[in-house]
Amino acid sequence: MTTVSSFDRDEAFQLLRQLVAVRSYPGEERAVQEVVAGWLTAAGLAPEFQATANGQPNIIAQISNGPGPTLLLNGHVDTVLAVEGWPCDPWQGRLEGDRFSALGAGDMKAGVVVNMLVARALARQRDAWQGTLIFSSVTDEEAYSFGARALVASGLRADACIVTEPSFDALIIGAPGKILVRATAVGKAAHGFRPHEGVNAAIELARFIAHFAAAVPTLHHPHLPTSQTVLSFLSGSAQYVITLPERAEALITRQIIPGESEASLLDALHAFAETLHSPARFTFTIEPPYYPPFELGQDQPLLRAMRDASAAILGTALPVGYSSGVSDANIFAGEAGIPTVFFGPRAGDWHQSTEWVDLSTIVPCAQIVLETALRLLRNGE
């Protein structure tokens, strides 16, 4: 297998600077997506704007190149909000040696650059592969993943997916999911001096909250973290009145691992509530965003291709690793059932004022992704 295309570090850096310069908080991605679409058009691709639930478009560019498998290359263009303390303009960034600091540089506009360069390379060498390549630049990953969800809801089918989130030293093949549950207790109002005439919802929900974590334990996974806790508790009136609170609400967050689901958690919470024999009525509802967990099997063709590609480019095959957070990979793998790996340029400090990416990892990352694509979409297979 020979890599038929070469990538240019300076071009990659200029493109990264262009994307970074356009502010793209969740809900305002359109301007940067127009830059992405403009570049793709100039590169001879045919980008399409896809509507998403936050009113901002995904950019999809499909290269159909005969029968064969479909590979999805995905990245997100939204960034978190700029925190205090940036030592430079977060949208201009600062270059020190090989390290470029800017908002969204690592998470993950450098990864979007990789996908743009690889899509163009594949478009230029159609005789070297067969199948379909779908490039996607999505919105809202840092909030509700509206972009990835819109892509899946559009009927997306793919045999493999690479999400170029920052992870240059390992191929990330699994991550826990996360689930948000609103627990509500409904009691009965009464005069605060005659509590025996009512049911104090605050006390009843507090009993539940104090003990649910021990009663509804998380599963164990050798590589994926689990956790659960209460994020908020609301009850009673904000205004002082001597009335027993008739309603209390708490928000429970939990990381989930393969084997757990929305239904299994709701069942467990209901079962524990029963054991309290509370006079209050408990209800549990799932609130967005829900992210299913995922774990790719070690024998997947995608993983084999990525290992081989990394060995061809770097000299040694990259090890596999696991993520502790959620990303759009959870949506593609967990929701749409597409074998997914995330792998991208080396970066760090995301969501901080010192976010950085190592520029020298962009080209080898693009080479590995291209090599993977050529192995998966090999001519005649």
Report the DSSP pairing between strands 58-65 and 131-138: antiparallel
Q: Which stretch binds Zn ion (CB under 5 A): 32-40, 102-110, 120-128, 292-300?
A: 102-110
Peptide bond into 306 cis (omega under 30): no
Q: Least distance from C-beta 360 to Zn ion, angstroms?
A: 20
**Closer residue to Zn ion in complex, CB, 195/325:** 325
**Closer residue to Zn ion in complex, CB, 4/82:** 82
Distance CA 86, CA 236 (A): 41
Say which amino acid occupies 282. Answer: F
Residues 6+ apart with CB under 8 A from 77: 19, 24, 29, 32, 33, 36, 104, 109, 112, 137, 138, 139
Residue 108 touching Zn ion (CB under 5 A): yes
Residue 150 touching Zn ion (CB under 5 A): no
N-to-C CA span, the chain: 14
Q: Least distance from C-beta 142 to Zn ion, angstroms?
A: 7
Q: Which stretch binds Zn ion (CB under 5 A): 57-65, 118-126, 162-170, 358-366?
A: 162-170
Q: Which helix (H) or strand (E) holds 150?
A: helix 146-153
Q: Least distance from C-beta 350 to Zn ion, angstroms?
A: 7
Q: Which stretch binds Zn ion (CB under 5 A): 3-11, 99-107, 197-205, 311-319?
A: 99-107
Q: Least distance from C-beta 79 to Zn ion, angstroms?
A: 9
**Closer residue to Zn ion in complex, CB, 107/358:** 107
Distance CA 254, CA 269 (A): 12
Q: Least distance from C-beta 136 to Zn ion, angstroms?
A: 14
Distance CA 337, CA 324 (A): 20
**Closer residue to Zn ion in complex, CB, 181/357:** 357
Q: What distances in angstroms separate CA 353 from CA 139, 237, 361, one per listed residue?
A: 22, 39, 21
Q: Least distance from C-beta 355 to Zn ion, angstroms?
A: 11
User: In this structure, what token pair is assigned to residue 135?
Assistant: 């490039």
Q: Within positions 116 to 135, which residues make up the interface with Zn ion, using CB under 5 A?
A: none
Kindly write down the DSSP assignment for every residue of 282-324, as one continuous string. EEEEEEEEEE--EE--TT-HHHHHHHHHHHHHHSSPPPEEE-S
Residue 45 touching Zn ion (CB under 5 A): no
**Closer residue to Zn ion in complex, CB, 165/204:** 165
Residue 107 touching Zn ion (CB under 5 A): yes
Q: What is the three-class DSSP state of 104?
A: coil
Residue 371 touching Zn ion (CB under 5 A): no
**Closer residue to Zn ion in complex, CB, 257/347:** 347
Q: Which stretch binds Zn ion (CB under 5 A): 77-85, 157-165, 247-255, 295-303?
A: 157-165
Q: How many CA atoms lie within 13 A of 328 on its CB side?
A: 32
**Closer residue to Zn ion in complex, CB, 143/209:** 143
**Closer residue to Zn ion in complex, CB, 132/164:** 164
Distance CA 111, CA 282 (A): 45
Q: Which residues bind Zn ion (CB under 5 A)?
A: 107-108, 165
